[in-house]
A and B are shown apart, each in its own frame.
Chain A
Amino acid sequence: MSIRDLPEASRSLSGKVAIVGLGETDYGDDYRASRAKAEGWERPTPEHLAVTAFERALADSGLRRSDIDGLGVSFLYGGPQPAEAAALLGLTPRYLTQVFGIMAGPLPQACAAIAEGKCDSMAVVYAVATRSIGRKFGGANFDDDSGAPPSYYYYHPWGWSSQAAHWAMTWRFYQQQYGRNDADLGAIAIETRKHAMAHPQAVMQTPITIEDYLGARFVVKPLRLYDLCVVNDGAICFIVTRADRARDLAHTPVALAGWGESIVKADKLDALVRGQLRPHYQEAGRQALTMAGLSLADIQHFETGDMSTVNPINALEGYGFAEPGTAIDLCRAGELSLGGRLPMNMAGGMLSGAYMHGWSHVAELVRQLRHEAGPRQVPDLEVSMFNLAQTDQVHPLIFKRGV
């Protein structure tokens, strides 16, 4: 089994585990420090970031270090091997593994491991020094042995590369099909920035207006600076435990109720640009909702991967929260903010919050479901959904408050 493989979504695994501990590094403070480079500032390492996130998660859970008998690690852009990481964190786990880097597989994988009796309480740790290592997201040196779709490197001779180009092509097609203008896309960027400003550790804290948005430089036209996510360093740790052990701990447990996966097998650019991945959202969403025993109408809060402003539009329409061509209307009507029908990316997503490959979206979702999100708390929240969709795959997760 590869670390990319997900356990099958099954009713019997729904609610079997819960997140009982959460630790994050201080994305905003760290980002500002890395920009300021004050005397004595040192480049963060994945190791250092991981330790910080783990210690915070452990303290948050109220568990003892010796209670953690499983460890899954993801150092997406380089870091220690699992055994070294265990030593670094002061753990001697009976189950030790690498987990899928992006937030799609790690929690289902932890759930399956716990259900199989490999461990009872697992720390799942992710750390990246994306900004500090100068990671680029396109160009001739983009690695082609990483399992990335061939679209990431095959079109170099035509000068076509980068994540952003995928979303730019997707948006241009959508824009023509539904008669949308540039300012429409700006609505997503502006709303997400407002959400970030309600979270002290979001990287971006200054408001943006439509004039700021339209006046910003193009990266890959029609996408501008504010259409694309931030790049920052950080780490996150979740402590996941058996549902029956989760009840008496420090915080309200957040149960993993469902997941799904749909991967584009053929004609990937066509599925993305013309298909907007809609059949894949439908299929993955159906799996996750069926596993959780819920319907789409039960979802009260949505944290979704926003590498660009285009992704939330695809996701909202793909899952069926909005009819094709109308997701921006939901945003403009305030339905994606507090008081609306489906508050979305409440900590600022990746566009303005932090680029943590979906992990920080789940961190916000945990705070929300614990009812600990302060001024940005979605009232009476019981069920939240997370989504991460890359160019060629869709991964939803569904969580419930309590076990």
Chain B
Amino acid sequence: MSEPRPDRTLGPRHDMFWQYCGQGELRVPKCTACGKLVWPVLKACDRCGDENFEWARMSGRGKLVSWCSFVQDYYKATLPVPYDTILVELEEGLLFISIPDGFTEADMSPGMQLELRLRDCHDSAGAFRLPVFVRA
């Protein structure tokens, strides 16, 4: 069943990210000039300023760096509070904000091994698949 989520940032480059997610792949922009992985999607490489990217596929493996739980309701009516959020270091070195799937903050510890899943969701622009993480 599809889950309602707050709106994504959309636009030419952003759409590609979600399109790959829809295909079951986590891909992030990689600067073709200097090779840096860039996240979130930006107009230009945050190391060298070049504006050309290719889409590098991530393995989907990562480990837990930090986490916090929203108790105050910042997204009125869209997301029931409280809910947990996590900061994951992808195997490729990028830090990625996400949410846990099948575990909660009570289970969390630094360095915990995690693995990508894609969850069926929708926002005001339509259906999409959201990258989330399960325990590896």
Q: Given the interface contacts A150-B42, A158-B85, A273-B87, does A219 sit within 8 Å of B95 by beta carbon?
A: no
Quick check: is A176 within 8 A (CB to CB) of the other chain? Answer: yes
The interface bits of chain B over 98-109 (1 if a CB of A lies within 8 angstroms of the residue's CB, else 0) are 110000010001
Residues on the A chain within 8 Å of B97, using CB: 151, 155, 158, 160, 269
The interface bits of chain B over 34-66 (1 if a CB of A lies within 8 angstroms of the residue's CB, else 0) are 001000111000110000000000000000011
The minimal Cβ–Cβ distance linking B116 to chain A, given in whole angstroms, is 13
The minimal Cβ–Cβ distance linking B70 to chain A, given in whole angstroms, is 6
Contact partner, A158, options B42, B94, B95, B98, Cβ 8 Å? B98
A interface majority secondary structure: mixed
Residues on the A chain within 8 Å of B69, using CB: 218, 220-221
Q: Is the CB of A221 within 8 A of B82?
A: yes
Quick check: is B135 within 8 A (CB to CB) of the other chain? Answer: no
The minimal Cβ–Cβ distance linking B133 to chain A, given in whole angstroms, is 11
Q: Within A148-167, which residues are at the interface with B (CB < 8 Å)?
A: 150-151, 153-162, 164-165
Residues on the A chain within 8 Å of B95, using CB: 267, 269-270, 273-274
* Total interface residues in chain B, CB < 8 Å: 40
Q: Is the CB of A265 within 8 A of B6?
A: no
Quick check: is B72 within 8 A (CB to CB) of the other chain? Answer: yes
Q: Is the CB of A273 within 8 A of B85?
A: no
Q: Is the CB of A150 within 8 A of B40?
A: yes
The minimal Cβ–Cβ distance linking B73 to chain A, given in whole angstroms, is 9
Residues on the B chain within 8 Å of A154, using CB: 9, 40-41
Q: Given the interface contacts A157-B5, A221-B105, does A169 sit within 8 Å of B66 by beta carbon?
A: yes
B interface majority secondary structure: loop
* Total interface residues in chain A, CB < 8 Å: 40
Residues on the A chain within 8 Å of B20, using CB: none
Q: Is the CB of A159 within 8 A of B82?
A: no
Q: Within B76-115, which residues are at the interface with A (CB < 8 Å)?
A: 76, 78-79, 82-83, 85, 87, 94-95, 97-99, 105, 109-110
30 contacts between A and B (CB under 8 A): A136-B74, A139-B74, A140-B74, A140-B75, A154-B9, A156-B7, A157-B5, A157-B8, A157-B121, A158-B97, A158-B98, A159-B5, A159-B75, A160-B85, A165-B85, A172-B66, A173-B65, A176-B66, A177-B110, A217-B71, A218-B71, A219-B72, A220-B69, A220-B72, A221-B68, A221-B105, A265-B46, A267-B94, A269-B97, A273-B95
Q: B-contacting residues of A (Cβ < 8 Å)?
A: 136, 138-140, 144, 150-151, 153-162, 164-165, 168-170, 172-173, 176-177, 217-223, 265-267, 269-270, 273-274
Q: A-contacting residues of B (Cβ < 8 Å)?
A: 5-9, 36, 40-42, 46-47, 65-72, 74-76, 78-79, 82-83, 85, 87, 94-95, 97-99, 105, 109-110, 121, 123, 128, 130
